[in-house]
Every structure is written in structure tokens, then in C-alpha cells.
């Protein structure tokens, strides 16, 4: 591998992929590697690696680069990372929204994952709070979810403070007798969930799907009223509460992407992955302990009919 | 009574009367504030009209710098990207056996026989858990950031040594660099230097260079004048005097700086990973932490701890050895060892194609330690949760809540079994008054003041105390401790918190750190005292302390959350588990270094071991113990940001919100607030120390 500043940024452990790239399917526009962001969760690893493998089949050079959730947008805007096929727009910040507006980063459309965000609780809580899954039940059984710090109110774990305060808006809007407690970070939220399940303790928390944790635990969703149009968290009353506006998962590329790799851009526009496909693979990796590389290779081998049209 | 005695007592009595009047005024003022709080909003929250848009100013300044100087910083990035890449490639190209050999050789040179064994075993652990590639990426960062930080620190240190004015200007800069949490300046570094490992490098150098500056100044300054004079007499010119006389004489202290810089740099490895682009051990810890995989994150965290311990022992060993072996030796004797090492590595590389095991650790030799660790924590939760829950609740109800929101609100039927009634306040007031009178009667005026103030804080709560009352108490206390300098400093610090609108969050931070520091100090000092008396306990605790100190603190959050849930108590425990270590070390060090003559003398006159400890050793070790308190405060503040990950709502959380919202001003103001609190606390500790020394001298005279 030639040593340029860009390859030095690349991840050597993962860039083994680049070396083993198969013969090109088609003539590619440039040898310049497409740098794909790798975030911290398995679902994103899968999306990124499938995209990487398929781009290699098209004959491109690919590098996988570890990137934090916020810094990656700076990198995308500066063309130091070129693609992240799975960006959740629920926990992004001004850098993302401004970037899309100014054209510093480009949205290539939805990945096809259908996220769901609401409050989750374990099945055993239905005994303590019989009216569930309707949110109306929570008004009567706040004490079932109470802890020492929040009594007599229930304890609701919300997203970390830096992801916004949507749960708090809903709780205040509909006057639910719950204290929203910010979760701090994804890891601590999952830790709390695992710990509560281990000891069958009461728990209710804001969460999102698809998430690898659902491959491990069985959780129920609080249900809300249907709503026409957008559900706005801040403007709800008890009887017509609609819960949360739902996120979307987008494929984000750098602003030079379409110009530098036009065929790759056409592929990225086509590329999709749904909840079910991703959940199965997440389960194989996180639960059955198989390697990411192996699971992705298997998916590619089994789904030739799906991806062949994308890359032509 | 002689005349001299009479003259001395007159001013002291007057000063005492003044102090009493002063404290009385402060206490009355604070009480009035508390009573009037319900009537006047501005007593409770600092009026918004008086707040300044400090956040916006920082953002404007930063935008301007980014707009005008980005190109300069990008060049720096480009310059450093190459060497970083080379070191990385070299480490990956080197067979593992070769790397182990080099490290073991360095260890042998630094410390003799024992350390190479520890080094080798540690690296074999890294191989066994399958994190070699990641560890090499981390080493690559450290191997470039340490020399860089040492260079920057050394140059600044020499400059500070040469010019008093430069030293005075450097001091606040060093302090800010060490106390503002790195998260607060991560964003501008990212914007200026662009995405990639260089950002981590810059953050790491910024955090790691201050100890090098301090130790360089100290080392160069403390060279005995007779050495310098003999240099001058031999006719050395200025450059010779510096490089051939002063520098070698101060080298030992300078190497201590290298040691501290190395450790600081390693502690930044994990923060650097938050940016990304590194795929190192820090990233591994963060990813597993995000998945709440305790076992896997502990396995990776221990790798960082081991790396830190190896580098610590090697650099420390070199500092210790300094001064020995300066005699002239032949070329072969001097470099023969290194030639042998280089030769062996060459041999390993030649043999690699024939014996692949030398280059790649077989996958079948890897062990999955994460699984059993996860099972252990599961079992522990199930077995001890009720007990731990009860413990946690009593701490929250009887200590944390009262201190935070005051007894009047914390006492409720659910927590204490009854509600707080007006007559409770009356009884409380009578009890406090009785205690105060008793203390004054016994001549313990200071105790009386402490009782009144403590009772007031406990009744109202740190977070609910009217701000003019808090300001008055702290500023007057500062004036008593350290005169007008400390009082002005405290006033300025508190004004910044008020004017920038961080007061409320700052009070929450102070609440959490006060508790955490008190607990850490008690636990650490007690354990340190035990360790000073029992060698086996000291040996047992050493690796535990080292691990807690060097392992990324994130790793501890998961198990603590699993046991105690998200919230302030968890944050408290997380801070304690990190901040008790300095208290431990300074207490043990202080007690072990009490002069032997004094101990012998006390034993001769028949002191029991307990008397020896309480009446001889502890008072003599007090300055050291207080130094430990000072460090505990610093560590506690540093841990606040990490504790925000388990859901606190103080300044630490603000730093995060600022970072993830891309709002530099917000995060930096909060970070600066934390630095200001830490620095002010440090000044109080130092003032105490000065007073203590003055008292001792007076007593001796």
C-alpha cells in the first residue's frame, strides 16, 4: 500500500479488505479509495461492510475508518470520510442539519431501516401494570415504576441529555406522574436494562429499534394514539398523545462523492437493507459470536440476486 | 508573665475579636438571605439581566480563528500524519516477538531483572486476548505524542527557568491545560486540525506537556550552586554550563517529568479514540462500553492499564537509575547490548517466513476472558442487589439529598418516614445553638463557626443556598485563609460562574465533588495508613491502585450502573473509585517517610503503636496527607466529565452537551467553570499548608 496521508488515516486492521479486493467488475473512475465511516455499533458495521464489499466488487478501492458520532460529520464535510451508509437522524446535531443545508454533506436517501422510537418495558411489567401497552395505563401505575429517588412518581429513563429532551416534553405535556432521568450514554442505558432484567426489577426507558439489544432481550413497546401527519412531542395532551416523531436512517456521503465516483454514487442510491435482514446478522455476530467478515460474506453470497441490479 | 508575652497576646486577642465579628456578620448575612429567599427571586437565581453572553463570545472567537488560521493548522496535520503513519506501519510490520524483545530489553536496562518478566507477561496477555493490532495502534500514538510533549515541555521549561516573567505567565496556562477537561477543547481541535489521528495527538500533547514544564524548571533550578560554581571555575561558557553541567545535574528531575508526561499521555488515549480514525484500544473500550459489554471492556481496559504500567516502570526506572553509571565505558560495552538486541530482531525477521508463529500469534492460543467476567457480574448482581440497594438508599436519603437540597426538602415521609415541619426547624435551631454555645464555652471558636455554617448548609442544601450567601461565606473564608489575594481570587472565580450563567450547574458539581472528595479522602487516607503499617497490604493494593488509576474510567461505569442504576450515587462511586488513589498514596508515602529518629525517640519514651501513629506519625505526615487531599480534589474534578456518562446534570454534562451539539462556547464555559473550581480549591489547600507551616515555625520558635 502506498503511504499517503489518507491511507495513514485509514485503519490498518480493517484495510486488509482493500488488499484482497477481487478483480474489477467494471472500469472505475479513479483509484482513490472511498473511505467509509465505522461507528460504534454492530448494525452500522454490517451496513458499512456490505457497502464496502459491494463497492469492491465494482472495482473501487475502499478503506474503513473508525469515526465517532459527532466527529464523522466534520470529516464528511471536509471530504476526509466519504460515506456513512447508516446515519440516524434522531441523535444528530446542528453540524448535521447545517451540513445538509449548506451542501457540505449530501443525503443519498433512506437506507430502508425502519426505526421505531418509544418507551420500552419488559413483559413482566404487564403484571404490575395491567393496562399496558397503552400509555394511558402509566397514569395509574407510576408507583410500580417508582424508585427511592423518584417516589411517588415513576422513574423513566430517557435518552442522554445530549440527545435532546423529547421524553421530558411528552411527560410534561401529558402530565404523566414520572420523573425523566437522563440515561447518560447508550452503554449505561443498556447496562441498566440488562441489570433490571437480571433481577426482574421494574424499568421503563426510551429506546430505539433496530438495536442489537432486541436480539438478546424481549421487550414491549408503549403504544400511543395514531396521528395524522407529524407527531410533535411538545404539543400533546393526555387524551390524544401520539408519542414520538419517528427518526429516519439515511445514507450520507461527502460533497465530492458523486463527482469523484459517479457509479459508486448510483449504487449507494440503490443500496437498501431492512430491519429483518440487519437483525438476523446482528444476532449472528453479537449472540452467536461469529465474525463480522464471515457473516457479511455469507449475506453477499446468498443475496446475489438482490445486489446485482444495484451495482450495474 | 514577662512583658514580651503580654505584647504578643494583645494583637492576637484583637485579631480574634475581629475574626469573631467578621464570621458573625457573614453568618447573620447568610441567615438573612435564606429567610428572604422566598420573597426575592434574585436571591435564588442570579438575575439574567446581569449575565453576559460569555458562550457567544467564545464561539465568535473560535469561528474567527477557524476562518483565518485553519490552513496553518492543516499544514501541521499534514506534517504529523506522515511520521504517525510510519510508526504505525513499523509497529505492525515488526513481529510480535520482536516488539516483546525490545520492550523487555528496555525494561532490563531501566530496572534490572524483574521488570522484563512483567513486561513480557503483560504483552503475552495482550496477545492472548487478541488485541495486539489495536495495542500497536495505541503504542504508535503514545510513541509520537510522548516525545512531542516532552520536547514542548522541555523547551517551555528551559524558557521558564531562564526568565521569571515567562514562568509567571506559564503557570496559569499550565493549570488551565491540566484542569479544563479535554472534552471541552476537543471540538476546536477537530475543526482546526481536521479529522484523524492527529486530533488525538494534539489533545494528548496539550494534556501531557504541563508536568514536563514544571519538572524541567524544578530540575534546572535545584542544581546545587557548588556544582555550577565548579563548572564556572573550569571555564565553561554559557552553553557548556547549561548542557554539560546544569542539564546533567537536573536530569533526574527532568526524567520524572518524562515519566509523568508519559502517564498523562496514556490517559488521553481513550479520549483520542472518541474522535476516531485510530482503531486502537481506546476505540475497543468505547465500542464495548457502548454495548454495555462489561467483560470485553474490562479486558481491553486492562490492556491500557498494563501498557501504562510498563511505560511507567520503564521511565521511572530510568529516572531512578540516573546518576549511576556515568563512568566512561568503551564503545562495545556501551552499545553492545543494543547491537545484540538489533541483531536478534533481524534474526526474528529472517526466521519469520520459516516459523510463522514468531510473527503471528496463533488464534487457537487466544482466550475469551470476557464471557466469564460477564457471568461473574451477573451472578454478583443477583446475589447482592437487595443489600446494595438498601445501602444506596440510606446514603441517598441521609447524606446526598440533605446536602443537595437541604433537610427541609429531603426529609419526607418516603425517605425518613416523616415530613419536615416548622417545629423541626425550631428544634434543629435550638440544638445547633446549644452546640455552638458549648463550643464557644470550651474556647473552640472555630468549631463553633463550623457548626453553625455546616448546620445552615445542611438545612438549606448546597444547590438551594442563595448565591449571595454562598459568595459571602466563601470569600470571607478565603480572606481568613489566605488574605486579600485569595479573597479576590475567590470572588473573581465565583463572579465568572455567576456571570456566565453556570452557577446552578456549578453548585451541583460542587455538591457531587465535595461528597466524593470527602469520601475518597477518608477511604484513601485510612487505607493508606493501613498500608503504611502493613507491608503485605501495601503490596496487595499497589496493582489495584495502578489499575484504577490507569485504566480508562469508562470501564468502571458499566458494572457500577448495573449495581446501582443511573444517577448521582453511581456517579459518586465512579468518582471515588478513581479519586481515592492519590489520598492513599500520599498518606502511605507521608507515614513511611516520617524521620526514623523521631519514631525511635517516641518508642523509647514508651509510646504504644497507637500513640505512635496518632500523636507522632500522623501530625508529622500531615503536610503530605493534605497534598493528597489537594490531588484528590483534582482527580475528582477530572472524573466529573466521565461521571456525566451515568446521567448527572452538572457542569460535566454541559461539557458533553456542548461537544455533541457542536457548540464550543457551551462546552468550554462549563469546562472553564470546572477548572476554576479546581484551581480555587487548590489555592485554599495551599493557603492551609502555608498557615500550617507558619504555625509550626511559630511553635518551634
Q: Is A191 close to B86, i.e. CB distance below 8 A?
A: no
Burial of B236 (0-12, 13-18, 19+ CB in 10 A): middle
Confidence class for position B149, pLDDT limits 50, 70, 90: very high
Residue from A4, A9, A208 whose CB has the most chain B CBs within 10 Å, to mutate: A9
> Please, are residues A272 and A50 in contact by the beta-carbon 8 Å criterion?
no
Q: How far apart are alpha carbons B605 and B599 in whole angstroms?
A: 10
Per-residue pLDDT reduced to its tens digit, B394-448: 888 888 888 888 888 888 777 777 888 888 888 999 999 999 899 888 888 888 8
Residue from B77, B647, B649 whose CB has the most chain A CBs within 10 Å, to mutate: B647
Q: Is B179 helix (H, G, I), strand (E, B) or coil?
A: helix
Highest mean pLDDT among A49-58, A223-232, B339-348, B598-607: A49-58
Of A16-25, A128-137, A188-197, which range is least confident?
A: A16-25
Residue from B565, B643, B666 whose CB has the most chain A CBs within 10 Å, to mutate: B565
Instruction: Nearest by CB to A192, from B378, B565, B653: name it.
Output: B565
Highest mean pLDDT among A219-223, B282-286, B695-699: A219-223
Q: Is A12 close to B133, i.e. CB distance below 8 A?
A: yes
Residue from A191, A201, A292, A293 whose CB has the most chain B CBs within 10 Å, to mutate: A191
Instruction: Nearest by CB to B277, from A42, A66, A152: name it.
Output: A66
Task: Output the average pLDDT for chain B.
Answer: 86
Domains in chain A: ranges and CATH: 5-113+249-307 (3.40.190.10), 116-240 (3.40.190.100)
Q: Is the pLDDT of residue A69 over 80?
A: no
C-alpha cell of residue B411: 426529609
- Helices marked H in B222-246 — which ranges? 225-233, 238-240
Cross-strand pairs, A221 = A120
Burial of B323 (0-12, 13-18, 19+ CB in 10 A): exposed
- Helices marked H in B442-564 — which ranges? 445-460, 467-499, 503-533, 535-550, 554-564
Q: Is A191 close to B191, i.e. CB distance below 8 A?
A: no
- Residues of B with Cβ-Cβ distance to A161 under 8 angstroms: 647, 649, 653, 656-657
Q: What is the pLDDT of residue B331?
A: 65
Q: How far apart are alpha carbons B315 and B255 in whole angstroms?
A: 7
- Residues of B with Cβ-Cβ distance to A11 under 8 angstroms: 277-279
Query: Measured between CB atoms, does B84 come within 8 Å of chain A?
Result: yes
Q: What is the pLDDT of residue A2?
A: 38
Those residues whose C-beta lies under 8 Å from the C-beta of residue A258, and which sit 6 or more positions away, are: A106, A265
Confidence class for position B327, pLDDT limits 50, 70, 90: low
Q: How far apart are alpha carbons A76 and A72 in whole angstroms?
A: 6
> Please, are residues B268 and B207 in contact by the beta-carbon 8 Å criterion?
yes
Q: How far apart are alpha carbons A165 and A90 in whole angstroms?
A: 11
Query: Measured between CB atoms, does B564 come within 8 Å of chain A?
Result: no
Per-residue pLDDT reduced to its tens digit, A172-216: 989 999 988 888 878 888 888 988 888 888 999 999 887 878 877
Q: What is the pLDDT of residue A55?
A: 93
Contact residues, B window 294-333, toward A, CB-based 8 Å cutoff: 294
Q: What is the pLDDT of residue B701?
A: 62
| Exposure string over A22-59, b if 16+ CB within 10 A, otherwise e | eeeeeebeeeebbbbbbbbbbbbbbbbbbbbbbbbbbb
Q: How far apart are alpha carbons B453 and B685 in whole angstroms?
A: 19
CATH of B500-701, one of 1.10.10.10, 1.10.375.10, 3.90.79.10, 1.10.3720.10: 1.10.3720.10
C-alpha cell of residue B312: 511507567
Per-residue pLDDT reduced to its tens digit, B205-262: 988 899 999 899 988 988 888 888 888 888 888 888 888 888 888 888 888 888 889 8
Query: Measured between CB atoms, does A78 come within 8 Å of chain B?
Result: yes
Burial of B145 (0-12, 13-18, 19+ CB in 10 A): buried
Domains B55-93+129-326 and B500-701 share a fold: yes
- Residues of A with Cβ-Cβ distance to B649 under 8 angstroms: 161, 182
ipTM computed for the complex: 0.75
Residue from A10, A159, A187, A283 whose CB has the most chain B CBs within 10 Å, to mutate: A187
Q: Rg of the Cα trace of chain A?
A: 22
* Total-model pTM: 0.84
Q: Is A188 close to B557, i.e. CB distance below 8 A?
A: yes
Closest chain B CA to residue A1: B89
Query: Measured between CB atoms, does B378 come within 8 Å of chain A?
Result: yes
Q: Is A68 close to B78, i.e. CB distance below 8 A?
A: no
Q: How far apart are alpha carbons A106 and B149 in whole angstroms?
A: 38
Of A164-168, A306-310, B70-74, B675-679, which range is least confident?
A: A164-168
The size of chain A, in residues, is 312
B85: distance to nearest CA of chain A, Å?
5
> Please, are residues B195 and A77 in contact by the beta-carbon 8 Å criterion?
no
For residue A118, what is the enclosing H or E element? Answer: strand A116-122
Q: CB pairs below 8 Å between A and B: how many?
A: 194
C-alpha cell of residue A32: 482513490
Q: What is the pLDDT of residue B695?
A: 84
Q: What is the pLDDT of residue A300?
A: 93
| Exposure string over B629-638, b if 16+ CB within 10 A, otherwise e | bbbbbbbbbb
Task: Output the average pLDDT for chain A.
Answer: 83
Give the start-to-end residue ranges of the domains of chain B: 55-93+129-326, 500-701
Contact residues, A window 143-182, toward B, CB-based 8 Å cutoff: 147-149, 151-152, 157, 160-163, 181-182
Q: Is A13 close to B393, i.e. CB distance below 8 A?
A: no
Per-residue pLDDT reduced to its tens digit, A239-281: 888 888 888 899 999 999 999 999 999 999 999 998 888 888 8
Per-residue pLDDT reduced to its tens digit, A47-57: 999 999 999 99
Q: Is B663 close to A94, i.e. CB distance below 8 A?
A: yes
Q: Is the pLDDT of residue A93 over 90?
A: no
| Helix-strand-coil split of chain B, %, nearest 5 | 85, 0, 15
Query: Measured between CB atoms, does A48 come within 8 Å of chain B?
Result: no
B389: distance to nearest CA of chain A, Å?
10
Q: What is the pLDDT of residue B80?
A: 87
Closest chain A CA to residue B392: A148
Q: Is B343 helix (H, G, I), strand (E, B) or coil?
A: helix
Q: Is B291 close to A183, i.e. CB distance below 8 A?
A: no
C-alpha cell of residue A303: 443475496
A309: distance to nearest CA of chain B, Å?
32
Q: What is the DSSP string of B631-669?
A: HHHHHHHHHHHHHGGG---SHHHHHHHHHHTT-HHHHHH
B150: distance to nearest CA of chain A, Å?
24
Q: How far apart are alpha carbons B365 and A203 in whole angstroms?
A: 41
> Please, are residues A242 and A231 in contact by the beta-carbon 8 Å criterion?
yes
- Residues of B with Cβ-Cβ distance to A182 under 8 angstroms: 566, 647, 649, 653
B424-B430-B435 Cα angle (round to 5): 125
B377: distance to nearest CA of chain A, Å?
10
Q: Is the pLDDT of residue B6 over 60?
A: no
Q: Is B86 close to A3, i.e. CB distance below 8 A?
A: yes
Instruction: Nearest by CB to B274, from A7, A68, A193: name it.
Output: A68
Q: Rg of the Cα trace of chain B?
A: 28
Cross-strand pairs, B463 = none
Confidence class for position A164, pLDDT limits 50, 70, 90: confident
Q: Is B562 close to A191, i.e. CB distance below 8 A?
A: yes
Closest chain B CA to residue A80: B195
Per-residue pLDDT reduced to its tens digit, B560-610: 888 888 888 889 999 999 899 999 999 998 898 888 888 888 888 888 888
A283: distance to nearest CA of chain B, Å?
13
Q: What is the pLDDT of residue A13?
A: 39
Burial of B255 (0-12, 13-18, 19+ CB in 10 A): buried
**Number of C-alpha atoms within 13 angstroms, CB side, residue B393?**
14
> Please, are residues A249 and A260 in contact by the beta-carbon 8 Å criterion?
no
- Residues of A with Cβ-Cβ distance to B277 under 8 angstroms: 9, 11, 65-67, 75
- Residues of A with Cβ-Cβ distance to B196 under 8 angstroms: 9, 75, 80
Which whole number is the average pLDDT over B673-684? 92
Per-residue pLDDT reduced to its tens digit, B600-630: 888 888 888 888 888 888 888 888 888 889 8
Q: How far apart are alpha carbons B200 and B148 in whole angstroms?
A: 13
Which whole number is the average pLDDT over B275-281? 77
Q: How far apart are alpha carbons B379 and B660 in whole angstroms?
A: 36
Of B43-57, B275-289, B469-483, B580-594, which range is least confident?
A: B275-289
C-alpha cell of residue B309: 504500567
In CATH, which superfamily holds the domain spanning B55-93+129-326? MetI-like (1.10.3720.10)
Q: What is the pLDDT of residue A7?
A: 39
Which whole number is the average pLDDT over B336-356? 80
Closest chain A CA to residue B198: A9
Closest chain B CA to residue A157: B566
Q: Is the pLDDT of residue A297 over 90?
A: yes
Per-residue pLDDT reduced to its tens digit, B354-400: 777 777 777 777 888 888 888 888 888 888 888 888 888 888 888 88
Q: How far apart are alpha carbons B589 and B617 in whole angstroms?
A: 12
Which whole number is the average pLDDT over A78-85? 90
Q: How far apart are alpha carbons B300 and B281 in whole angstroms?
A: 6
Q: How far apart are alpha carbons B278 and B141 in whole angstroms?
A: 9
Backbone φ and ψ of B180, nearest 5°: -70, 125
Q: Which of B274, B278, B308 is nearest to B187 (CA)?
A: B274
Contact residues, A window 93-152, toward B, CB-based 8 Å cutoff: 93-95, 147-149, 151-152
Q: Is A235 helix (H, G, I), strand (E, B) or coil?
A: coil
Higher pLDDT, residue B155 or A213:
B155
**Number of C-alpha atoms within 13 angstroms, CB side, residue B676?**
22
Q: Is A188 close to B292, i.e. CB distance below 8 A?
A: yes
Q: Is the pLDDT of residue B8 over 70?
A: no
B383: distance to nearest CA of chain A, Å?
9
Is residue B567 left, alpha or beta, with left meaning phi > 0 and alpha meaning psi from -120 to 50? left
Q: How far apart are alpha carbons B124 and B95 in whole angstroms?
A: 13
Which whole number is the average pLDDT over B472-490? 91
Confidence class for position A14, pLDDT limits 50, 70, 90: very low
For residue B334, what is the enclosing H or E element? Answer: helix B331-351
Q: Mutual orientation of helices B294-321 and B281-290 as an angle, nearest 10°?
A: 150
- Residues of B with Cβ-Cβ distance to A152 under 8 angstroms: 414
> Please, are residues B426 and B542 in contact by the beta-carbon 8 Å criterion?
no
Amino acid at each position: 500500500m502506498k503511504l499517503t496521508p489518507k491511507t495513514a488515516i485509514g485503519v490498518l486492521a480493517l484495510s486488509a479488505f482493500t488488499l484482497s479486493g477481487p478483480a474489477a467488475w467494471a472500469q472505475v473512475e479513479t483509484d482513490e479509495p472511498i473511505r467509509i465511516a465505522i461507528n460504534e455499533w454492530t448494525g452500522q458495521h454490517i451496513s458499512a461492510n456490505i457497502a464496502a464489499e459491494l463497492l469492491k466488487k465494482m472495482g473501487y478501492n475502499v478503506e474503513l475508518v473508525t469515526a465517532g458520532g459527532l466527529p464523522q460529520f466534520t470529516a464528511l464535510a471536509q471530504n476526509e470520510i466519504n460515506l456513512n451508509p447508516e446515519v440516524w437522524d434522531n441523535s444528530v446535531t446542528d453540524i448535521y442539519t447545517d451540513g445538509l443545508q449548506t451542501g457540505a454533506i449530501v443525503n443519498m436517501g433512506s437506507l430502508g431501516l425502519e426505526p421505531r422510537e418509544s418507551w420500552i418495558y419488559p413483559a413482566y411489567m404487564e403484571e404490575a401494570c395491567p393496562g399496558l401497552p397503552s400509555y394511558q395505563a402509566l397514569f395509574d401505575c407510576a408507583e410500580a415504576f417508582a424508585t427511592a429517588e423518584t417516589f411517588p412518581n415513576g422513574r423513566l429513563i430517557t435518552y442522554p441529555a445530549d440527545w435532546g429532551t423529547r421524553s421530558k416534553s411528552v411527560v410534561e405535556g401529558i402530565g404523566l406522574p414520572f420523573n425523566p432521568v437522563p440515561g447518560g450514554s447508550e452503554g449505561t442505558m443498556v447496562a441498566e436494562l440488562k441489570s433490571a432484567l437480571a433481577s426482574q426489577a421494574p424499568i421503563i426507558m426510551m429506546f430505539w429499534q433496530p438495536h442489537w439489544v432486541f436480539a438478546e432481550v424481549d421487550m414491549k413497546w408503549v403504544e400511543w394514539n395514531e396521528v395524522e401527519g407529524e407527531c410533535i412531542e411538545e404539543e400533546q395532551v393526555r387524551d390524544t398523545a401520539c408519542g414520538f416523531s419517528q427518526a429516519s436512517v439515511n445514507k450520507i456521503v461527502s460533497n465530492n462523492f458523486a463527482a469523484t465516483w459517479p457509479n459508486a454514487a448510483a449504487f449507494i442510491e440503490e443500496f437498501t437493507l431492512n430491519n429483518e435482514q440487519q437483525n438476523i446478522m446482528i444476532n449472528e455476530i453479537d449472540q452467536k459470536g461469529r465474525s463480522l467478515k464471515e457473516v457479511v460474506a455469507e449475506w453477499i453470497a446468498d443475496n446475489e440476486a438482490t445486489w446485482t441490479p444495484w451495482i450495474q | 508573665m514577662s512583658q514580651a508575652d503580654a505584647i504578643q497576646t494583645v494583637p492576637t486577642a484583637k485579631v480574634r475579636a475581629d475574626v469573631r465579628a467578621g464570621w458573625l456578620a457573614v453568618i447573620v448575612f447568610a441567615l438573612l438571605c435564606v429567610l428572604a429567599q422566598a420573597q426575592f427571586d434574585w436571591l435564588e437565581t442570579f438575575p439574567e439581566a446581569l449575565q453576559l453572553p460569555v458562550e457567544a463570545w467564545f464561539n465568535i472567537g473560535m469561528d474567527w480563528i477557524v476562518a483565518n488560521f485553519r490552513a496553518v493548522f492543516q499544514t501541521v496535520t499534514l506534517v504529523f500524519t506522515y511520521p504517525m503513519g510510519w510508526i504505525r506501519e513499523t509497529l505492525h510490520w515488526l513481529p510480535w516477538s520482536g516488539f516483546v524483545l525490545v520492550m523487555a530489553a528496555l525494561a532490563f536496562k531501566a530496572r534490572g531483572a524483574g521488570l522484563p518478566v512483567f513486561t513480557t507477561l503483560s504483552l503475552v496477555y495482550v496477545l492472548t486476548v487478541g488485541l495486539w493490532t489495536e495495542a500497536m495502534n495505541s503504542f504508535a500514538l503514545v510513541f509520537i505524542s510522548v516525545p512531542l510533549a516532552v520536547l514542548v515541555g522541555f523547551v517551555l521549561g528551559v524558557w521558564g527557568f531562564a526568565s521569571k516573567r515567562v514562568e509567571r505567565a506559564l503557570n496559569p496556562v499550565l493549570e488551565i491545560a491540566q484542569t479544563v477537561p479535554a472534552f471541552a477543547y476537543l471540538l476546536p481541535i477537530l475543526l482546526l486540525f481536521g479529522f484523524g489521528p492527529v486530533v488525538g495527538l494534539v489533545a494528548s500533547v496539550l494534556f501531557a506537556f504541563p508536568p514536563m514544564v514544571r519538572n524541567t524548571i524544578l530540575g534546572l533550578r535545584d542544581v546545587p550552586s557548588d556544582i555550577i560554581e565548579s563548572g564556572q571555575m573550569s571555564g565553561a561558557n554559557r552553553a557548556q554550563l547549561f548542557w554539560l553541567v546544569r542539564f546533567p545535574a537536573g536530569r533526574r528531575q527532568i526524567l520524572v517529568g518524562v515519566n509523568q508526561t508519559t502517564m498523562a499521555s496514556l490517559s488521553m488515549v481513550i479520549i483520542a479514540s472518541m474522535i476516531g480514525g485510530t482503531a486502537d484500544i481506546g476505540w475497543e473500550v468505547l465500542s464495548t462500553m457502548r454495548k454495555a459489554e462489561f467483560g470485553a471492556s474490562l479486558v481491553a481496559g486492562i490492556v491500557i492499564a498494563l501498557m501504562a504500567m510498563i511505560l511507567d516502570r520503564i521511565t521511572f526506572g530510568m529516572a531512578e537509575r540516573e546518576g549511576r553509571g556515568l563512568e566512561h565505558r568503551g564503545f562495545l560495552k556501551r552499545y553492545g547490548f543494543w547491537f545484540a538486541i538489533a541483531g536478534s530482531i533481524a534474526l526474528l525477521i529472517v526466521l519469520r517466513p520459516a516459523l510463522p508463529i514468531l510473527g503471528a500469534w496463533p488464534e487457537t492460543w487466544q482466550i475469551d476472558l470476557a464471557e466469564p467476567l460477564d457471568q461473574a457480574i451477573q451472578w454478583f448482581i443477583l446475589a447482592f442487589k437487595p443489600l446494595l440497594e438498601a445501602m444506596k438508599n440510606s446514603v441517598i436519603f441521609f447524606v446526598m439529598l440533605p446536602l443537595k437540597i437541604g433537610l427541609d426538602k429531603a426529609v419526607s415521609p418516603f425517605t425518613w418516614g416523616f415530613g419536615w415541619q416548622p417545629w423541626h426547624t425550631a428544634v434543629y435551631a435550638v440544638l445547633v445553638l446549644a452546640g455552638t454555645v458549648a463550643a464557644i464555652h470550651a474556647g473552640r471558636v472555630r468549631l463553633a463557626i463550623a457548626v453553625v455554617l455546616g448546620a445552615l448548609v445542611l438545612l438549606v442544601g448546597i444547590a438551594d443556598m442563595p448565591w449571595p450567601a454562598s459568595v459571602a461565606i466563601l470569600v470571607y473564608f478565603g480572606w481568613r485563609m489566605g488574605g486579600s489575594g485569595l479573597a479576590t481570587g475567590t470572588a473573581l472565580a465565583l463572579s465568572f460562574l455567576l456571570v456566565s450563567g453556570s452557577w446552578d450547574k456549578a453548585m451541583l458539581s460542587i455538591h457531587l465533588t465535595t461528597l466524593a472528595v470527602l469520601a475518597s479522602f477518608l477511604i484513601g487516607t485510612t487505607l493508606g495508613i493501613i498500608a503504611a503499617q502493613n507491608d503485605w497490604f501495601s503490596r496487595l493494593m499497589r496493582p489495584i491502585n495502578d489499575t484504577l488509576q490507569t485504566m480508562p474510567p469508562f470501564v468502571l461505569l458499566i458494572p457500577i450502573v448495573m449495581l446501582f442504576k443511573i444517577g448521582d450515587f453511581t456517579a459518586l462511586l465512579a468518582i471515588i473509585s478513581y479519586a481515592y488513589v492519590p489520598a492513599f498514596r500520599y498518606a502511605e508515602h507521608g507515614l513511611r517517610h516520617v524521620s526514623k529518629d523521631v519514631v525511635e525517640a517516641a518508642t523509647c519514651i514508651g509510646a504504644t503503636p497507637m500513640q505512635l501513629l496518632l500523636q507522632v506519625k500522623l501530625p508529622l505526615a500531615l503536610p503530605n496527607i493534605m497534598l493528597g487531599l489537594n490531588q484528590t480534589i483534582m482527580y475528582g474534578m477530572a472524573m466529573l466529565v466521565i461521571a456525566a456518562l451515568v446521567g448527572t446534570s452538572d457542569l460535566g454534562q454541559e461539557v458533553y452537551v456542548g461537544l455533541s451539539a457542536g457548540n464550543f462556547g457551551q462546552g468550554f464555559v462549563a469546562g472553564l467553570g470546572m477548572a476554576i473550581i479546581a484551581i480555587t480549591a487548590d489555592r485554599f489547600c495551599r493557603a492551609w499548608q502555608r498557615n500550617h507551616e507558619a504555625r509550626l515555625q511559630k511553635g518551634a520558635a
